[in-house]
Amino acid sequence: MRIVLLGAPGSGKGTQAQKLMAERNLPQISTGDMLRAAVDAGSRFGQQAKAIMEAGQLVSDDIMLGIISERLSEPDAKDGFILDGFPRTEQQALDLADLLDQLDQPLDTAVLMDVDFDILMKRLTGRRTCSLTGKLLNIYFSPQEELDECTNAGGELVQREDDNEATIKSRLDVYREQTEPLIDYYRKRGKLQVVDADGTIDDVYARFLGAITSN
């Protein structure tokens, strides 16, 4: 199954993709995670990407195309993938369509994680990652036991550098201006499924599964 996940920052794309990856053995390809790995590696490119990400802006389409075409040609992507955070612009959607054409691997579905704008802010400002396990948590929504499990084991609840209010605002603006038009792009091509992404992780996951198995 070849899936694109669309949705604003904080709409739960990463959480749902991780669940599907664990259950269906499909690789979650998160361009944000790949860029963060480049930042951590400290390369020259990583340093440039860091500045762009901290400003809540987008890395250029050309660079993203290079990154994604390399990733999609790896063996684990042959039997399907979940794209999380790509495409983010219309140009990226066109590039992806060309790339998948060349690979003879057409996209099955683009799933929009649809969530109320007010909820996004709490999801983003409360978001943390356990430094030991990489598990995604939220100080407002995760059960206290799950938060304690991380800290009691000696882990830290780490906040992403770009999850501060100023950066969040520009990420949401960029989403509205550059990524939201992709909803129509996929709708026009008959590929769009909309999932109500408000609710518990398990409730949203059930709806998500329903959407990707309905066509």
Q: Which of 122, 135, 160, 191 is catalytic?
A: 160
CB 176, min distance to ligand AMP, A: 13
13 is known as an active-site residue = yes
For residue 191, count other CB atoms closer than 10 A to its CB. 17
Query: How far is CA 162 from its chain centroid?
Result: 14
Does 12 engage in binding with ligand AMP (CB under 6 A)? Answer: no
128 is known as an active-site residue = no
Outline where the chain has alpha helix (H): 13-24, 31-41, 44-54, 61-72, 90-102, 117-126, 144-152, 165-174, 181-188, 201-212
88 is known as an active-site residue = yes
Does 182 engage in binding with ligand AMP (CB under 6 A)? Answer: no
Does 7 engage in binding with ligand AMP (CB under 6 A)? Answer: no
With CB under 6 A as the contact rule, the residue among 17, 35, 130, 168 that binds ligand AMP is 35
Distances (CA, A) of 132 to 14, 60, 136, 163, 169: 18, 32, 11, 20, 29
160 is known as an active-site residue = yes
Q: Which residues bind ligand AMP (CB under 6 A)?
A: 9, 31-32, 35, 52-53, 56-59, 64, 85-86, 88, 92, 162, 171
Residues that are catalytic: 13, 88, 127, 160, 171
